[in-house]
Structure 1
Amino acid sequence: MSEPGWVKDAIFWHVFPLGALGAPDTRDDEDPLAGPDGIAHRLPDLIGWLDHLLAIGCNGLLLGPVFSSYSHGYDTLDHFSVDSRLGDEADLIELITACHERGIKVGLDGVFNHVGRGHALVADRLDDPSTTFFEGHSGLVNLDYPAASPLVAEVLTYWSERGVDCWRMDAAYAMNPATWQTILPPVRERFPELYIFGEVIHGDYPAIVAESGFDSVTQYELWKATWSALNDANFYELEHALARHASFLETFIPQTFVSNHDVTRIASRLTDRRHLVHAVALLALVPGTPSIYYGDEDGFTGTKYERLGGDAEIRPQLPASPAELSELGRGLRARYQELFGFRRRHRWLHDAHLEVIELTNTLLALRLTPREEAAAPVYLALNIGDEQARVGDRDVRAHDIAYWADQA
């Protein structure tokens, strides 16, 4: 496994800045915060959220698109400038510096499969019949490789020099994995501590990791099985996904999540909110490199719709400060703190051996054992049934969880 050593302790707070900071939908919309130069300095507002990030157990800030774009951030216009709705380069560096002063790693969204129509690399070929568009969206023009490889390497180098620790490669599933072997080696040689993972929805995850040179990919299989099994009272589906997950752990550590900027939030996806804690427990204790999507820790809801503007609910504006978060979310936030605090005390869970030891439609129990450290196993039991269950010598209340370290 090639990932940098610091990733073993990484837990990211994933933020979509354009939404979280209340930016206008497009660069043509009136921006009440823009100065005479057209720049609205919103990014530094996230500094006021860093203590909240740390309080829920995170030590990484994973940012959605921050580069100049026309609308949602994935129609990039210039990879070397910060979106004027968010600020400028000095604002981004100020945020990175504030994170590093607190021991927080910073990740950026690398949108390199496609760009906006106004990007210099594609502006002169829009009328070329051979030009292709990302998933049929006429505003997202696919880049040509290997012609675009030097630009991507330059962008990675430019921002890594300015302190970026991690890159999420957007839409990596749409690219030939081997393309990254023409880009990443010299970047990694210069920045050996970079953590790089790709957005991959389906396919042969281990092969994609090996062929691309990524450290990891997004674990969509486990994401889907988590909410689906909880909704359908079918832990056999989750057991199948966990077996796959365990096999992935032999070659790489997947990037895990229960919500992100592209999918319905977990609090809206689940039909029974009592089972939110089950999803959180899986995210916290199952091996992987987890990310918490901003607001999930306070029970934010939001549904993804397949239409123009259909992402609005899942990318809401944050309050002005954490002090303005609803009291209604305090109980769930405490569960996040409790579960991720437990993970921090058992850091070897990052790449632990995983096995299912109890399984019915409504009861699932896992044993997690360290690969190298001399530590006792950890157990996690999920009960979504209407009756109390028992795992070993532990009672698991109906619609609740139990977890413990073996002291024997």
Structure 2
Amino acid sequence: MLKAAIYHRPKNEFAYAIDESTLHIRLKTSKNDVHKVILVYGDPYDFNEEEKCWVSNKKEMTFNGSDDLHDYWLVAISPEHRRLRYGFMLENEKASLFYTEKGFYKEQPKDAGYYFCFPFLNKIDVFSPPAWVNSTVWYQIFPERFANGNPKINPEGALAWGSTDPTPTNFFGGDFQGVIDHLDYIEELGITGLYFTPIFKAYSNHKYDTIDYMEIDPQFGDKATFKKLVQKCHEKGIRVMLDAVFNHSGFYFEPFQDVLKQGENSRYKDWFHLQGFPVKAEEPANYDTFAYVPSMPKLNTENEEVKKYLLDVARYWIEEFDIDGWRLDVANEVDHSFWREFRLTVKQAKADAYILGEIWHDSMPWLQGDQFDAVMNYPLTSAITEYFAKANISTSQFANAVTTVTNLYPETVNEVQFNLLGSHDTPRILTISDNNKDKVKLQMFVQFTMAGTPCIYYGDEIGMTGDQDPGCRKCMIWDKNKQDTDMFSFTQKLISLRKNYLLLRTNQNFQFIDVSDGESVVMYRKKDERNEILVIINNNAERKEIAIPAAYQNKQGENLWDQQKTTLASTIEIEGDDFHIVMF
């Protein structure tokens, strides 16, 4: 047994509360090394005087998948007095070992002090993301490019809608009235959440260079129009999430302009990370910025005045306009202390507001219940697109990557992770799939059968194309003759399927089955106390006869895609780039 690969720590994704009485305990072992894991657990104060030993119980852990190096194990436990000491009994054909906080033992230690400790399950420590998020399907809108509903407020030099390709500097006049005018379209698609990229006053067409965080950009409309938009969304059961750019401001942000004019005498000099005077506002700038962009000076969120201003912003848009969440731009470059105060402020204003961080890497430090509810799940995005769209990884590498992602965070986080295939920061999914619509459908199918909350980038549902920014920011196509209505119907059906089957929205007993690199076939299952769902995907352009695992042969179920009863034989034929989904 490879001891060096066995790992646990009594916190984060390895030990956490899922409710007021239940803990999840997770363990990592070397791949194909350990065949059985049993949790040894008990109250730290239970002691048998006669036998002079700690009193413990045992519960077998569930295999929770494999990646390229490790196996994962998971168990739910409800400590009687909300406190726990625990360790692990590991078995394979050669050995049986006990793994505790103090190391490995051939015999079970009798002293509770040897074991891992979960001191007490305090109610306030239970991570409780908003309940509504898991059942939400998001639609990301880049306001400047979605619809022009009020040409009277077009920015100077605005071009005719969709008359040319987008550039970093051109405008087409998208606004709030345009969104209001198309809410019926959004509702028809099945969307229950809108995520807007920045709407605040800014110089650029993307608005990530904020001038005034308390004002709507005039090209989008006024506050009355925005309030009307939120109200109409809520009437249709649609939540609204705004983009908060708190890592940096824009060049024309009044405090930064004051610094440029007043230099060392500016009362705002400590609002930024300045490295000297006079301030040099061209590359290379002598102050910290977003990336190396001088027009986006980094804000000093440790400064009390900056902190108060931004927290007032967070509160204001919730209290005055009833928005439902904040997406946080460049969230990993802002200090943790600020985000902790941000969470308190937001949750006081609206207890079930959704807090979503833009982080592209392992985000556990931000997902411990004191900062964000979730992050944008780009590692899952990468696994899906690298396998289906780009064919850069094998089937086993895809399965390994997805399993790693699902074991990266607590299940409470996984159920509200923001799952996307593309955004304003990436090429469109149809473009990276070489305009192969069937490949796009496979990717969306996987996205919608994973735990979390899926997001569609505006226009992907009608087959829009576009390369890296600015190409991915084309004007929405409203001419029905130019829309891919088949893709729209497919997206509608996916959304409906996800809404109707809770099991698709969770990771309960999620596991890949019979992964084979040579076949380009993906098979995975989910299972709860009542049902099991089996997914089979043929990621190959050719029709394929696929062997059904013995455990599923002759089982009767329902094909969820066509609602027909079905019985699985020893094999099943699936068309090229197609899928089969059965519930038993």
The 3-state SS of whatever aligns with 1:116 is coil
Shift of 1:96: 0.5
Query: Is 1:11 aligned with 2:137?
Result: yes
Rounded to whole Å, the distance in 1 between the matches of 2:475 and 2:174 is 15
Closer, same or farther: CA 83–367 of 1 in aligned 2, 3 Å: same
Query: Is 1:129 aligned with 2:289?
Result: no
Give the aligned partner of residue 188 of structure 2.
55
Whether the aligned pair in 1 keeps the contact of 2:145 and 2:174 (CA below 8 Å) is no
Shift of 1:314: 0.9
Query: Is 1:261 aligned with 2:420?
Result: no
Rounded to whole Å, the distance in 1 between the matches of 2:195 and 2:238 is 10
Shift of 1:60: 0.8
Give the aligned partner of residue 219 of structure 1.
377
Map 1:391-406; keep pairs closer than 5 Å: 391=548, 392=552, 393=568, 394-406=572-584
Closer, same or farther: CA 177–403 of 1 in aligned 2, 3 Å: farther
Greater shift in the superposed pair: 142-151 or 346-355:
346-355
Closer, same or farther: CA 178–381 of 1 in aligned 2, 3 Å: farther
Give the aligned partner of residue 185 of structure 1.
344
Query: Is 1:296 aligned with 2:466?
Result: no
Whether the aligned pair in 2 keeps the contact of 1:383 and 1:389 (CA below 8 Å) is no
Same amino acid, percent of matched pairs: 25
Rounded to whole Å, the distance in 2 between the matches of 1:156 and 1:238 is 38
Rounded to whole Å, the distance in 1 between the matches of 2:325 and 2:382 is 25
Give the aligned partner of residue 206 of structure 1.
364
Rounded to whole Å, the distance in 2 between the matches of 1:302 and 1:46 is 21
> Which amino acid counterpart does residue 354 of structure 2 have in structure 1?
Y
Shift of 1:6: 1.1
Rounded to whole Å, the distance in 2 between the matches of 1:289 and 1:251 is 12
Whether the aligned pair in 2 keeps the contact of 1:44 and 1:94 (CA below 8 Å) is no
Closer, same or farther: CA 369–57 of 1 in aligned 2, 3 Å: farther
Rounded to whole Å, the distance in 1 between the matches of 2:574 and 2:526 is 18
Query: Is 1:21 aligned with 2:147?
Result: yes
Closer, same or farther: CA 291–338 of 1 in aligned 2, 3 Å: same
Rounded to whole Å, the distance in 2 between the matches of 1:326 and 1:110 is 36
Whether the aligned pair in 2 keeps the contact of 1:96 and 1:164 (CA below 8 Å) is yes
Whether the aligned pair in 1 keeps the contact of 2:301 and 2:335 (CA below 8 Å) is no
Give the aligned partner of residue 157 of structure 2.
30
Higher relative contact order (CA 8 A, sep 6+): 1
Greater shift in the superposed pair: 325-334 or 55-64:
325-334
> Which amino acid counterpart does residue 538 of structure 2 have in structure 1?
N
Shift of 1:54: 2.1
CA offsets 1:304-351 (integer angstroms, 9 cap, x no match) = 0xxxxxx232112124x5xx2345511111111112211110134323
Closer, same or farther: CA 224–121 of 1 in aligned 2, 3 Å: same
Q: Over aligned residue pairs, what C-alpha RMSD do you find?
A: 2.3
Rounded to whole Å, the distance in 1 between the matches of 2:187 and 2:532 is 26
Whether the aligned pair in 2 keeps the contact of 1:62 and 1:108 (CA below 8 Å) is yes
Whether the aligned pair in 2 keeps the contact of 1:75 and 1:115 (CA below 8 Å) is yes
TM-score between the two structures when normalised by the length of structure 1: 0.88
CA offsets 1:209-233 (integer angstroms, 9 cap, x no match) = 1275100001111111111111226
The 3-state SS of whatever aligns with 1:207 is helix
Query: Is 1:158 aligned with 2:316?
Result: yes
Whether the aligned pair in 2 keeps the contact of 1:389 and 1:398 (CA below 8 Å) is no
Shift of 1:268: 0.4
Shift of 1:28: 7.3
Give the aligned partner of residue 108 of structure 1.
242
Rounded to whole Å, the distance in 1 between the matches of 2:334 and 2:181 is 37
The 3-state SS of whatever aligns with 1:115 is coil
Greater shift in the superposed pair: 189-198 or 389-398:
389-398
Give the aligned partner of residue 78 of structure 1.
212
Whether the aligned pair in 2 keeps the contact of 1:64 and 1:109 (CA below 8 Å) is yes
Closer, same or farther: CA 389–174 of 1 in aligned 2, 3 Å: farther
Greater shift in the superposed pair: 357-366 or 155-164:
357-366
Unaligned runs of 5+ in 1: 34-39, 305-310
2:413 to 228, 242, 252: 252
Whether the aligned pair in 2 keeps the contact of 1:13 and 1:292 (CA below 8 Å) is yes
Query: Is 1:270 aligned with 2:429?
Result: no
Closer, same or farther: CA 328–82 of 1 in aligned 2, 3 Å: closer
Greater shift in the superposed pair: 136-145 or 329-338:
329-338
Rounded to whole Å, the distance in 2 between the matches of 1:280 and 1:164 is 27
The 3-state SS of whatever aligns with 2:132 is helix
Shift of 1:176: 2.8
Whether the aligned pair in 1 keeps the contact of 2:512 and 2:525 (CA below 8 Å) is yes
Rounded to whole Å, the distance in 2 between the matches of 1:5 and 1:188 is 14
The 3-state SS of whatever aligns with 1:140 is coil
- Between structure 1 and structure 2, the one with the greater Rg is 2
Whether the aligned pair in 1 keeps the contact of 2:358 and 2:375 (CA below 8 Å) is yes
Whether the aligned pair in 2 keeps the contact of 1:122 and 1:143 (CA below 8 Å) is no
Shift of 1:90: 1.0
Whether the aligned pair in 1 keeps the contact of 2:146 and 2:175 (CA below 8 Å) is no
Shift of 1:207: 2.4
Shift of 1:4: 0.9
**Greater fraction of residues in helix:** 1
> Which amino acid counterpart does residue 383 of structure 1 have in structure 2?
N
The 3-state SS of whatever aligns with 1:114 is coil
Rounded to whole Å, the distance in 2 between the matches of 1:387 and 1:42 is 46
Map 1:135-146; keep pairs closer than 5 Å: 135-146=291-302
The 3-state SS of whatever aligns with 1:196 is strand
Rounded to whole Å, the distance in 2 between the matches of 1:115 and 1:182 is 19
Rounded to whole Å, the distance in 2 between the matches of 1:368 and 1:184 is 33
**Greater fraction of residues in strand:** 2
Query: Is 1:68 aligned with 2:194?
Result: no
Shift of 1:21: 3.4
Rounded to whole Å, the distance in 1 between the matches of 2:474 and 2:369 is 36
Closer, same or farther: CA 32–292 of 1 in aligned 2, 3 Å: closer
The 3-state SS of whatever aligns with 1:45 is helix
Rounded to whole Å, the distance in 2 between the matches of 1:279 and 1:244 is 18
Give the aligned partner of residue 82 of structure 2.
none
CA offsets 1:345-392 (integer angstroms, 9 cap, x no match) = 01343233221113223111111234xxx5412222221122414244
> Which amino acid counterpart does residue 303 of structure 1 have in structure 2?
D
